[in-house]
Structure 1
Amino acid sequence: MAEMTVEERIHEAIEQLTSAERRAARGLLANYPMLGLAPVAEFAKQAGASPATVLRFIARLGFRSYPDFQRALRDELQARTQSPLQRSRNRPRQESGNFLTAFAAQLAANISATASRIPQAEFDSACRRLADTRRACHLAGGRFTDALAAYMEAHLRLVRPGVRRLDGRMAARVDQLLDVKAGDTAILFDMRRYDPEMLDTVKLMRDRRAFVVLITDEWISPAARFAKVVLPCRVSIDRTWDANTAMFALVEALIARTTELAWPTASQRISANE
């Protein structure tokens, strides 16, 4: 099983950090990962913390030294930007035996890792927002994840009112964003290699004061710095293509829990549809 990324470690540890260490964590998340590649004194200055606090923060994440921490960030940067062609060059030889069984085992491991590494508080927060029918819900995805946004939209429209998926064209999406109101909920998907237009969308959502839930991969999209809730999913399976199976499983879990929380409204809408 692949090790957690630095950003995953931060999200897992954030509730146990001191207030000073949280300043260091938030400073890094706001300029991730570039701030972590700077000298420790510069990191501390930009984050509004002392160098000693930064080093304690790094230790809380499980790193023995600042160079070890920076090495992990550089490895993440390399992994983030790998294309399918680059990944295929590193792919192991064709395994003997049942390919489908081995592949399914990898997918199952990704689902298990995703479920264990998403903080319950983050998942619950996303579900409560989705179940609040007073707030409109907006969804958008990228080249491969827009299908997940469409799948989620189709279910949520049966469960609650005020659900819509944003247009895939940025020009049309900007027009739709004019209707986003403060307090609305946005469910956005972004996985490597990250979509610059999704980053623009998240920034615009933040400017409209929407509550953004970002569903992303284990390297975590740059859009995370503008999201209220970040739900990272394990997608790597050491093959040419990343696998969205864990992301799909998370979507189904969000739909199931939201339906339960919004059952008074959901039951009436489902009954009327039937």
Structure 2
Amino acid sequence: MTNPITERIAQHYSELTQGNRRLADYLLVNPDKILMLSTNEIAEACDVSKASVSRFIRKLGYQDHISLRNELLEERDKGTPMALSNEVEVDFSSEIRALESLLDHIQESDMGAITERLSHSARIKIIGYRNSYPVAMHFRQQLVQGRPGVELLPLPGQTIGEDIASIGEDDFVVVIGIRRRVKGFESLLSALPQQRTLLITDQTGLKFKPLVAHTLICPMSNSSPLDSYAVPMALISYLSNRVFNHLGKQAVENTEFVAQTYTQLGEIE
């Protein structure tokens, strides 16, 4: 999805005055400045009056600067890359804060029941689309080290209807849906066995909690243009190690068998 202000400017550009086009050109190149600068600062940057900026914003269909800013913030919450300030964090402070929040959330969750399901269900079906797909793939790769019967869905180029229809009574489903989820995500969750489904999502996915038995929230920061997936990956590591430790000898034997297969096939250095 493109930044909504760029779409509106494109629709009205031919109707704009020379002064408004100067504003339009500036914001087309720097759309995030709406979030960073005041109306007066934008006016100074474009060498126009504050009133001109206000008229330009109304021309685009917004009531005022605040309503435009709120729309951009909503898009950022959905995962659209967008800077919120001129200051860029050069350390991992936001990730550390998010990991601390994740730890608090884990301590309040029923991790015993989730671990039991991940360890002893006949098959584990892991579903992930878009940016959640590599997280789902990594989770699958971690779990298969300790137990068999872990599948990643959907297969490339395939729809998922057949896979949902084949979910057995002893299977457990993990759905990963972080930011900018695919259209129909709610319908997907509704089609899954509610009492045997875990949803891993961010804070914007709390609305789906009634559709599943278990929900784990990965706090995602909005302070940077691009999302960090440190928290989801940390959660995957945590869950995988809980399952491995829970299975004990069975997991060790499975890992040894996987290693032997690697050696036999010559796949790993």
Query: In the alignment, is the contact (CA less than 8 A) between 1:259 and 1:266 conserved in 2?
Result: yes
- Rounded to whole Å, the distance in 1 between the matches of 2:197 and 2:248 is 23
Q: Which residue identity lines up with residue 116 of structure 1 in the other structure?
A: D
- Rounded to whole Å, the distance in 2 between the matches of 1:216 and 1:250 is 11
Residue 173 of structure 1 pairs with residue 160 of structure 2: yes
Identify the residue that residue 130 of structure 1 maps to in structure 2.
118
Identify the residue that residue 94 of structure 1 maps to in structure 2.
87
Q: Which residue identity lines up with residue 234 of structure 1 in the other structure?
A: P
- Map 1:145-224 onto structure 2 (within 5 A): 145-167=132-154, 172-206=159-193, 211-224=196-209
- Rounded to whole Å, the distance in 1 between the matches of 2:192 and 2:150 is 15
Residue 116 of structure 1 pairs with residue 104 of structure 2: yes
Match of 1:159, SS state, is coil
Identify the residue that residue 231 of structure 2 maps to in structure 1.
246
> Offset at 1:154?
0.9
> Offset at 1:272?
1.6
> Offset at 1:241?
2.0
Q: Which residue identity lines up with residue 138 of structure 2 in the other structure?
A: Y
Match of 1:256, SS state, is helix
Query: In the alignment, is the contact (CA less than 8 A) between 1:217 and 1:233 conserved in 2?
Result: yes
> Offset at 1:119?
4.2
Identify the residue that residue 41 of structure 2 maps to in structure 1.
none
Aligned CA-pair RMSD: 2.6
In structure 2, the CA distance between the partners of 1:137 and 1:84, relative to structure 1 (3 Å rule), is same
Identify the residue that residue 8 of structure 1 maps to in structure 2.
none
In structure 2, the CA distance between the partners of 1:272 and 1:109, relative to structure 1 (3 Å rule), is same
> Could you state the TM-score of these two structures normalised by the residue count of structure 2?
0.63
> Offset at 1:164?
0.3
Kindly name which structure, 1 or 2, has the bigger radius of gyration based on alpha carbons.
Answer: 2
In structure 2, the CA distance between the partners of 1:260 and 1:204, relative to structure 1 (3 Å rule), is same
Identify the residue that residue 22 of structure 1 maps to in structure 2.
none
Q: Show CA shifts across 1:26-84 (max 9, x none).
A: xxxxxxxxxxxxxxxxxxxxxxxxxxxxxxxxxxxxxxxxxxxxxxxx99x94785452
Match of 2:187, SS state, is helix
Match of 1:272 among 257, 260, 266: 257
In structure 2, the CA distance between the partners of 1:197 and 1:256, relative to structure 1 (3 Å rule), is same
Q: Show CA shifts across 1:229-263 (max 9, x none).
A: 00001111411122221111011000000000112
Q: Show CA shifts across 1:161-193 (max 9, x none).
A: 211011166953111122201241111111222
Query: In the alignment, is the contact (CA less than 8 A) between 1:156 and 1:163 conserved in 2?
Result: yes
- Runs of 5+ consecutive residues of structure 2 not aligned to the other structure: 1-69, 260-269
- Map 1:6-155 onto structure 2 (within 5 A): 78=74, 82-85=78-81, 87-88=82-83, 91-95=84-88, 99-101=89-91, 104-132=92-120, 134-155=121-142
Identify the residue that residue 10 of structure 1 maps to in structure 2.
none
> Could you state the TM-score of these two structures normalised by the residue count of structure 1?
0.62
Q: Which residue identity lines up with residue 100 of structure 1 in the other structure?
A: V
> Offset at 1:126?
1.3
